[in-house]
Structure 1
Amino acid sequence: MFDIISTTFPISEKKVFGLRGGSIVLQAEQVTRVISIIWKHNKDKAAEWFEGDDAPTYYNIFTSVTTLDTQTWALTISNLQTHFSGKYSAEVNNKDPTQFVTLTVLGPVSKPAITMDCINDSNCTLTCKGKKDGLTTYTWANGIEKWPGPELTVERIDHDVVYTCNFSNPVSWASSQGTVKKYLPPPPDPGQKK
């Protein structure tokens, strides 16, 4: 009787983000000797190189914005646009890939706008609004503490306090500031006795 031994390689998946107009470097798995490499975007070829080729070949949308380093096998994509988003893999030496990278290209976030509603003399609610894309987050800070979320309710105190709203996604951030003015108690009524 013979034992059949099968070897499987774990498949790893990684998510990365790129800024629209920027560039990103995708690294292929490291092997001792590369005789061929085919980089794919989803199921389509992006770039390929075979031993003996003078230079890599690039396809479709990758023709003018892509570089394949024939020493490190890294694929560099410049001038990122949303159509470059998708799943990338590298077939090295005609073997199925064991690494996949999902790239999401995002634009920069907008500068957020802050509105303030002081409900009464002692409390104010600050609201931060920016153009959301599903991956944006809000964080408030006053130089000492931080709070998550687009709204923040604070107490007015005996001095002005500046609150900063940071609006971000995985590739960019923008901020705006709002000042909650100090609490001033109403002046005493001149008709009241002390």
Structure 2
Amino acid sequence: MAREFCGMKILLPFALGQIILFNLGRCEPVKMYGVINSNITLSPLQKAKFKDITWKKGKDKVAEWQENEEIRYFGSFQGRAILDPSGNFTILNLTTSDEGLYEMESTDNHNPANETMLYVLENLLQPDLYCSFDGENLTVSCNGSKDSRFLNYAWDFSGSYVNLSESKVQLRYHENLHQNISCIIKNPKSTNGSSLLLETCVPKKDQRKYRYLLLIGAFIYAIVFPAGLYASKNIRDEETEVQKGSRDLVKVPLSNKQKDQDSSQASSLGKEMDRSQDDNPPFSSYPACLVRDRIAAPVASTEFQSQWCSLAPSL
């Protein structure tokens, strides 16, 4: 038992190593894409002059050739396939049943992994666009193809939208209804797209309601915005006037009669100042209004000073 157990311990790592080396030596199949009703050519990875060639789909032979013999085709490939001595295998008028894993075998082939995975896709037609409206949002769906393998979607729209899925988007109702939204579909062999006018997604009555709301909004904006500008201008003008008034002295206009009376009183006071020139104190002791108004004449009396100061602002 001990010897058998030790022998298993030695063989087990060796077997695992062989499996790993075998898997590492195998490459992933080459992927090729064909279109229904078109032609495609499968080629061997090794370029050489072969003496015998066998192409298989899965475990079934599809074509076979040996040097100095005729080429034979099998099953549905009879009459719609071409095999040449370089190993190229061409399938004509592809059908969906041609899809599968193909492998070329040859005694001259030194590359054990010569596999090709063939995918047969349909030529994409214009996708169908459908839309619905729930009163607030627009939902647009794109029906690209029955064969969704390798199918990618793209949307072309100048506004904003939210992807509910790769083939469905949602838009807000406030978007411009007079513009188009486009859906583009693509697979490895073809591209196509369709457009939809958003206006067709919304019932006429809702469109009228939407237009009325736009008109009301525009009307309110046209009235409120200028009024706000005018009020703002008046406020700025009033503030400017207040600031200006705080800097300037407000002068009250006098009537002609008052001006004559004030001039007469001022003349009398001037004469009185001339008569009392020698009896007055120095200029530095004059009242503030006399110093401010640069009155250099002597002041005869306190009564004169008060009269002059009371008349000075109006002159």
TM-score (norm 2): 0.49
Distance 2:29 2:212 in 1: 59
Instruction: State the secondary structure of the residue aligned to 1:12.
Output: coil
Distance 1:131 1:18 in 2: 16
Residue 27 of structure 1 contacts residue 73 of structure 1 at CA under 8 Å; is this kept in 2? yes
Instruction: State the secondary structure of the residue aligned to 1:103.
Output: strand
TM-score (norm 1): 0.76
* Superposition pairs of residues 89-104 of structure 1, within 5 angstroms: 89-93=103-107, 97-104=112-119
Q: Aligned pair in 2 of structure 1 residues 159, 134: CA closer, same or farther (>3 Å)?
A: closer
In structure 2, which of residues 44, 54, 75 is the aligned counterpart of residue 60 of structure 1?
75
User: RCO higher in 1 or 2 (8 Å CA, sep ≥ 6)?
Assistant: 1
Task: Report % sequence identity.
Answer: 25
Q: Which AA in structure 2 matches 1:160?
A: H
Distance 1:143 1:34 in 2: 58
Q: Which AA in structure 1 matches 2:97?
A: H
Instruction: State the secondary structure of the residue aligned to 1:111.
Output: coil
Q: What is the CA distance between 1:35 and its match in structure 2?
A: 1.4
* Superposition pairs of residues 65-76 of structure 1, within 5 angstroms: 65-70=80-85, 72-76=86-90
Q: What is the CA distance between 1:23 and its match in structure 2?
A: 1.0
Q: Which AA in structure 2 matches 1:52?
A: N
Quick check: 1:154 aligned with 2:168?
no
Q: Which AA in structure 1 matches 2:116?
A: V
Distance 1:145 1:171 in 2: 30
Distance 1:188 1:13 in 2: 66
Quick check: 1:163 aligned with 2:181?
yes
CA RMSD in angstroms, aligned pairs only:
3.5
Distance 1:143 1:75 in 2: 48
1:39 aligns with 55
Where do 5+ consecutive residues of structure 2 fail to align? 1-17, 200-206, 225-315
Q: Deviations over 1:69-126 (max 9, x none)?
A: 22x32111010112211110000226584121121223334532212234446x4321
1:3 aligns with none
Distance 1:138 1:88 in 2: 30
Tell me the number of residue pairs that the alignment of Structure 1 and Structure 2 aligns.
184
1:141 aligns with 156
Q: Which AA in structure 2 matches 1:24?
A: I
Residue 90 of structure 1 contacts residue 97 of structure 1 at CA under 8 Å; is this kept in 2? no
Q: Aligned pair in 2 of structure 1 residues 126, 82: CA closer, same or farther (>3 Å)?
A: same
Quick check: 1:125 aligned with 2:153?
no
Quick check: 1:177 aligned with 2:195?
yes
4+ residue runs of structure 1 moved beyond 6 angstroms? 143-148
In structure 1, which of residues 20, 25, 46 is the aligned counterpart of residue 36 of structure 2?
20
Q: Deviations over 1:125-172 (max 9, x none)?
A: 211124432313322123799977111223444573322112344333
Q: Which has the higher helix share?
A: 2
Distance 1:169 1:158 in 2: 31
Distance 2:124 2:184 in 1: 10
Residue 89 of structure 1 contacts residue 97 of structure 1 at CA under 8 Å; is this kept in 2? no
Q: Aligned pair in 2 of structure 1 residues 110, 33: CA closer, same or farther (>3 Å)?
A: closer
In structure 2, which of residues 90, 94, 97 is the aligned counterpart of residue 83 of structure 1?
97
Where do 5+ consecutive residues of structure 1 fail to align? 1-5
